[in-house]
Amino acid sequence: MAIRNRKTPLPPEAKGIVGTVRFARRDKEHAALRPGEIAIVDHPDLDSQQAEALIDRRVRAVINVSRSSSGRVPNVGPQMLAHAGITLIDVTNPDLAARLKSGDKVRIEAGKVFKDEILVASGAELDQQRTNSDLAAAESGLATKLDSLAANASDHIQREHAMLIGGARIPRLRTKLRRRPVVVVSRGHDDVADLRGLRRYINESDPILIGAGAGADLLLESGYTPRIVIGALDNLSDKAIRAAGEVVITTASGRVDMPERLEKHGKEVVTFVSTGSDDDLAILLADTNEAAVIIHVGAPADLSQFLDRAPTEAARMFVSRLRAGSKIVDAKAVHYFSTDRMALWPIMLLLLAGVVAVATAIGVTPVGNDWFDSIGTQLSDFGNWIKGLIS
Whether the CB-CB separation of 215 and 195 falls below 8 Å is answered with: no
Structure confidence by residue, pLDDT tens digits, 312-355:
888 888 899 889 988 999 998 888 887 655 444 554 555 566 55
In this prediction the pTM is 0.63
Q: What is the pLDDT of residue 355?
A: 57
CA distance 322 to 312: 15
pLDDT block averages, 10 residues each, the chain of length 391: 46 75 90 94 90 94 93 88 94 85 93 92 91 88 84 88 87 94 92 92 94 95 96 92 93 81 79 90 95 93 76 87 90 80 52 59 57 60 60 56
Number of H helices, E strands in the chain: 16, 14
Domain boundaries of the chain, sorted by first residue: 17-133, 161-339
Helix (H) or strand (E) holding 307: helix 303-307
Residues 6+ apart with CB under 8 A from 361: 368
On the 0-12 / 13-18 / 19+ scale of CB atoms within 10 A, 209 is: buried
Q: What is the pLDDT of residue 382?
A: 58
CA distance 181 to 165: 22
Q: What is the pLDDT of residue 372?
A: 56
In this structure, the number of other CB atoms found within 10 A of the CB of residue 98 comes to 9
Structure confidence by residue, pLDDT tens digits, 343-382:
445 545 555 665 566 556 555 556 556 555 665 666 566 5
Q: What is the pLDDT of residue 328?
A: 92
On the 0-12 / 13-18 / 19+ scale of CB atoms within 10 A, 175 is: middle
- Residue 203's alpha-carbon distances to 26, 141, 199, 211, in angstroms, are 30, 43, 6, 17
17-133 in CATH: which number? Answer: 3.20.19.10
Residues 6+ apart with CB under 8 A from 49: 27
Q: Which CATH class is domain 161-339?
A: alpha beta
Whether the CB-CB separation of 201 and 224 falls below 8 Å is answered with: no
Q: What is the pLDDT of residue 228?
A: 96
- How would you write 332-370 as a 3-class SS string? HHHHHHHHCCCCHHHHHHHHHHHHHHHHHHHHCCHHHHH
